Amino acid sequence: MNRALVIAEHLQGKLNPSTAKCVSCAQGIGEAEIDIAVLAADAGTVAAEAAALAGVRRVLTVTRPENAEALAAVWAPQLAALAKSRGYTHLFGPSTTFGKDLMPRIAATLGVGQISDVMAVQSAYKYRRPVYASNAIITVEAPADAIVVATVRVASFQPVAGGGNAAIEAVQVDAALPTHTRFISRSAANADRPDLQTAARVVSGGRALASAENFKLMYQLADTMGAAVGASRAAVDAGYAANELQVGQTGKIIAPELYMALGISGAIQHLTGIKDARTIVAINKDSEAPIFEVADIGLVGDLFVIVPELERLIRARKAS
């Protein structure tokens, strides 16, 4: 019997939707018991959310003051010890900034390789993942005599439904914690906007915005739509937008219902990050821009004219 442990990603007492997508991935390995690990200083609310996910057998909570912040160096030895003591065959975490920091440390602690960006499960030890900026898909097979540690490409999986009623169990983990890593402070984007990696709607700006001041157009439109804000690498490198807003191969891989690319040419590295979006809308004054090849809806024109008009129309519709 396979036993899978999904690592819960959470912040400020709320479970990240990426966890439900990791459970969906874990269900693909066939006959398996699926548990969720919640590390926190106070795991109550998050554990209750995790227990409500369909298909979850048990939620294991590891509560201690050191777990108040998601520090990979602190969490990794605890999760590795938990996996070994409970006999888990698989450990899954999201391929988010959180997961990419944490899961390799767990793999190294366990002395195994990591499978990155799992996008499909073929069997308990065989997975498909993208390479070469998603231009090719390869099948990788993990050894059956070692624990599988993998990050899940959350854009490739639908979240499991709610309605579950898993048992919640508090556990103690015997693991030495490092002293060289400590939490100093947190700098976060506007908490009033949806999270970029899980938002249903995303408005993204590119180099054509020409300045950080002009990039405020993205925030205004996003707030009108209730959308998250993203940016191309060119816009980030130019200093128009913060690094955490970067979408693409070297940024965040997202799969919103609606993705609006404003002033983004559509380099292959950017398209890698949005290929799973349900509907792509592109606005660019260059009719030959590559973004139009993948866009479901394309509009050739000046975004500085079009975006304010879009915002006006959305506000008028809301008011009517």
Per-residue pLDDT of the chain in tens (320 residues, 90 and over written 9): 899 999 999 988 999 999 999 999 999 998 889 999 999 999 999 999 999 999 999 999 999 999 999 999 999 999 999 999 999 999 999 998 899 999 999 999 999 999 999 999 999 999 999 988 778 899 999 999 999 999 999 889 999 999 899 999 999 999 989 888 888 887 765 557 888 888 899 999 999 999 999 999 999 999 999 999 999 999 999 999 999 999 998 889 898 999 999 999 999 899 989 988 999 999 999 999 999 999 999 999 999 999 999 999 999 988 87
Would you say the C-alpha torsion 75, 81, 85, 87 has a positive or negative sign?
positive
Asked if residue 64 and residue 7 are part of one domain, the reply reads: yes
Instruction: State the total domains in the chain.
Output: 2
Q: Specify the pLDDT at position 320.
A: 79
In a shared domain, residues 215 and 100: no
Task: For residues 251 and 118, give the distance between their C-alpha atoms in angstroms, rounded to a whole number.
Answer: 17
Q: Do the domain assignments include residue 142? A: yes
Q: What angle do CA 39, 250, 122 make, to 5 degrees?
A: 65
Helix (H) / strand (E) element for 144: namely none
CATH number of the domain at 243, please. Answer: 3.40.50.1220
Same domain, 6 and 121: yes
283 in any annotated domain = yes
Last residue of a domain, one of 118, 152, 170: 170
pLDDT of the residue at 218: 95
Statement to judge: residues 158 and 223 lie in one domain? no
CATH code of the domain containing 35: 3.40.50.620
- Do 115 and 211 have their domain in common? no
Q: Same domain, yes or no, for 237 and 165?
A: no
Does some domain include residue 187?
no
In a domain, 166, yes or no: yes
* DSSP three-state, residue 221: helix
Task: Measure the N-to-C terminal CA separation of the chain; round to a whole number of Å.
Answer: 57
253 in the same domain as 109: no
Instruction: Quote the pLDDT of residue 30.
Output: 85
User: Do 153 and 211 have their domain in common?
Assistant: no
Please give the full DSSP string across 176-208, using - where no structure is assigned.
PPPSS----------TTSPPTTT-SEEEEE-GG
The reply to whether 245 and 141 lie within a common domain is no
**Domain that includes residue 300, residue range:** 201-319
Same domain, yes or no: 158 and 210: no
Instruction: Tell me the two tokens of residue 171.
Output: 């556990």
CA distance 30 to 90: 12
97-112 CB burial, b ≥16 within 10 A, e <16: ebbbbbbbbbbebbeb
| Domain membership flag for residue 145 | yes
What's residue 82's pLDDT? 97
Phi, psi of 183 (to 5 degrees): -80, 130
Sequence-distant (≥ 6) Cβ neighbours of residue 207 within 8 angstroms: 232, 234, 235, 238, 240, 263, 264, 265
The residues pairing with 7 across neighbouring beta strands, listed in sequence order, are 37
183 belongs to a structural domain: no
Give the pLDDT of residue 193.
80
Q: Check whether residue 105 and residue 241 sit in a common domain.
A: no
pTM for the predicted model, two decimal places: 0.83
Within this chain, do residues 206 and 58 fall inside the same structural domain, yes or no?
no
